Amino acid sequence: MIVIDESMNRALEDQDIAVKNGFVLKRPIYALGTKVISIGADNYRQSRQDFEALASVEEEAQKVIDIVKKENRQDQELVLKNCWINSDTGKLETEGAGKLLFTEHSIRQLIRRTRQSKSYDLPEGDGVLDASNFIANVNARLEWRSGLANKFLKTAQDDKGNDLKAIFRTRDFPNEGLTERELYATVSGKFNSDCDVDEICKFISQKDPHTKATSLYDGEKFRFDILYHSDIKPENCVAGEIFKAGVTVRSSDNGTQGIRISPFVIRNLCLNLIILDRAEQNISLTHLRKNLAEDLQAAIDTAFSKVSDFKARWESANKENILQDLFNKDPREVFTKLVKAGHFRVPGVNQKDLVENMYRAWLQEPQLTRAGIVNAATRSAHTVKWNSIWATSLLEEQAGQFLFNNSSLN
């Protein structure tokens, strides 16, 4: 049935807001406003619980910042002809940066910067291959690879006979119990490192530190998702519902891609919350911009403005100050009251221990809101060594029920 009520109006308003902010939406499979079936409500409930269990933007950003700091990165400008691959060790030896391990990508970049022939006749008549790809191929004989690379490096000059240079981006690399230096990128002198992934994280963290986020960084590519989620009752979700929004930032510090900032919304197209549409916009910046930091800040501001209306609509759970019902008492007493009222209970765990563990989890991200309580419950579910095997699943389930429970907190 089509619901001509608050749910229908909400879906229509969501659609209008998205279109106003430049998103191109796919049409739902069922009529806009059709209520989801039971599995759709369950999937919405799980989606919201998964969202609440995520770390904050500030926490995720700090994780990436700490990883990059541990890499101990350095950028040095070196003359290419003063570099060579040792045919015995396979390491890149340099005058200025010492002996270096290297990634396939960085050595490919280095060889291409020599401006030598792109094609190479393979030994023993095995065909023709791009020289940089052959040298980067760890399965080829080191003797052949190093010989060809050194030939190119030794004669690396421009059309006027000037020695070619490049920026060598190096970092610490754990190798068989030792820490060695690794070349992870070979870039031009125009490459702007002001907005490496750790600096991007600082920009993002300052923008909205307390909402939820996920991040991926594997030493090559970087992705950071800032997320917002609606807080409706699961059974009120409908076809056409926009229930997630956020901003995704992608980048790489090794010259493989620029910075891409993508505001997005996620819309439910069906009745079981499985067929979804992610509508996004993209703002792209290259690492060759002189004013990259200023441009990045402007791009992030623009991206957040595209989803700010959804953030404002979905903040009711985060704005509800639960201490209003508890006469501004000590936050620990909030958990005592919630446990005694039966909102949270775990068979085999006494109430005092349950209160203390949830309170300690809450101190990791203290928010005097219903969502703050949910975060504390889910955090304690996964970080505390409970004496009951059912504690984790029970607390997650109870946190979800509490999130959508609009009744008195007593």
Is 229 in the same domain as 169? no
242: exposed, middle or buried (C-beta count within 10 Å: 0-12, 13-18, 19+)? buried
- Asked if residue 91 lies in contact with residue 173, where contact means CB atoms within 8 angstroms, the answer is no
Q: Answer yes or no: do 331 and 233 share one domain.
A: no
Give a yes or no: residue 33 inside a domain. yes
pLDDT in tens, 214-230: 999 999 999 999 999 99
Q: Is 226:301 a contact under the CB 8 Å cutoff?
A: no
Domain boundary among 299, 314, 329: 314
- Reported pTM: 0.78
Tell whether 294 and 324 lie within a shared domain.
no
Last residue of a domain, one of 297, 314, 331: 314
pLDDT tens sequence across 132-171? 877 777 777 888 888 888 989 999 998 899 999 999 999 9
Whether residue 387 is found in the same domain as residue 285: no
Q: What's the pLDDT score for residue 251?
A: 97
> Does the residue 410 lie in any domain?
no
Q: Residue 129: give the domain boundaries.
A: 74-187
Instruction: Evaluate whether 410 touches 340 at the Cβ level (below 8 Å).
Output: no
The answer to whether 264 and 245 are in contact (CB under 8 A) is yes
The residue out of 187, 217, 244 marking a domain boundary is 187
Q: Is 200 in the same domain as 112? A: no
Residues 150 and 80 in one domain: yes
The mean per-residue pLDDT over the stretch 229-256 comes to 95
Measured distance CA(137)–CA(133) in Å, rounded: 6
Residue at 1 is within a domain:
no
Residue whose tokens read 């300690």:
360
**pLDDT at position 53:** 85
Q: What's the structural domain count of the chain?
A: 3
Q: Is residue 383 part of a domain?
A: yes
Instruction: Give yes or no for residue 327 having a pLDDT over 70.
Output: no
Q: Phi and psi for 180 in degrees, rounded to 5?
A: -115, 170
Helix H or strand E encompassing 276: strand 276-280
Question: 115 vs 237, which has greater pLDDT?
Answer: 237
Q: Does 224 fall in a domain?
A: yes
Residue type, position 57, single letter:
V
Would 331 be classed as within a structural domain? Answer: yes
Give a yes or no: residue 408 inside a domain.
no
- Tell me, yes or no, whether 124 and 95 share the same domain: yes
Distance CA 125, CA 273 (A): 57
Does residue 29 carry a pLDDT above 60?
yes
Given CA atoms 159, 163, 167, 169 in this order, what sign does their dihedral have?
positive
210 and 170, same domain (yes or no)? no
